[in-house]
Amino acid sequence: MKRRGHLFSIVVFVFVMPLRAFAQDGTHAEPSAAATALDELIHAFENESKLGTHVLYTQSYKVHHRRVEFKGSIFGQIQDIEADGCELKIKSTVIDRYSGTVGEGPVGQTQSEYKSLLRLKLTMKLAAALEVVAARPVRQLSVDSHALCSENARCFLTWIRLKSDSRSIHLTEFTNDIADYDGYVKDFEGQVAQFWLPVSTREAGAELIAKMRAYAQSCAW
């Protein structure tokens, strides 16, 4: 069974928001139930892709004896999902738009993008470990940059945390945040134990987790 949804469009200080435990009753899902679970999963991701999550920030710090001051915004969004059996491919992006000064020199409007592609088998164990978390995007806003955000001083975004004990999540990352280079480069590729998907709200994250758990149970049979 293969289905693809085209959508619009690490982390510290994590606060886990409790969700219901994933229950399994051992009942074999009928083919129609699996198809329904897949349709609902794709639909939930498509709805979330129209929203995303963001913060507005200011930051001020020193690097190489020069004062750096920026104002900007961080925007995170799920872009695309593809399902083939229990195998999922999920694309997401985090965009950092900013301007300011470095030393005495102005920095015009700049946009740095961080694109991620996840490949994973959605087992019931992985689905059970899914959590909604509030956390700071430290790659863009490290602690020593002294960033402050207008909506919440800690600059937290909302994420779904995927976690695997066996590093079964395959992650590929691309970025254009490379000095003196025009275009995107592969920043990382390999197996990881966890990853954060940006979501608009805690409630939206909880709904996506519920759909992923339902699909994990149905596609396993």
Distance between CA atoms of residues 212 and 163, nearest Å: 14
The whole model's pTM is what? 0.80
Q: What is the pLDDT of residue 177?
A: 84
CA distances from 74 to 40, 66, 92, 153 (A): 29, 24, 13, 14
Distance between CA atoms of residues 9 and 198, nearest Å: 12
Distance between CA atoms of residues 82 and 101, nearest Å: 41
Distance between CA atoms of residues 212 and 2, nearest Å: 15
How do residues 7-34 score in pLDDT, each as one tens digit? 433 443 444 444 333 344 444 445 578 8
Q: What is the pLDDT of residue 1?
A: 47
Q: What is the pLDDT of residue 152?
A: 78
Distance between CA atoms of residues 84 and 118, nearest Å: 14
Beta bridge pairs of residue 192:
169
Q: What is the pLDDT of residue 153?
A: 79
- What is the count of structural domains for the chain? 1
How do residues 118-169 score in pLDDT, each as one tens digit? 999 999 999 999 999 999 998 899 888 889 998 777 899 999 999 998 899 9
Residue 43 in 3-state DSSP?
A: helix
Q: What is the pLDDT of residue 37?
A: 92
Distance between CA atoms of residues 169 and 165, nearest Å: 10
Distance between CA atoms of residues 148 and 157, nearest Å: 13
Domain limits for position 24: 2-219
Average pLDDT, the chain: 85
Whether 5 has a pLDDT exceeding 60, the answer reads no
Q: What is the pLDDT of residue 180?
A: 64
Q: What is the pLDDT of residue 15?
A: 43
Which residue, among 198, 164, 12, 178, has the nearest Cα to 92 in the 3D structure?
198
Q: What is the pLDDT of residue 12?
A: 38
How do residues 159-202 score in pLDDT, each as one tens digit? 999 999 889 999 999 999 876 667 789 999 999 999 999 999 99
Angle at 217 between CA 221 and CA 76, to 5 degrees: 130
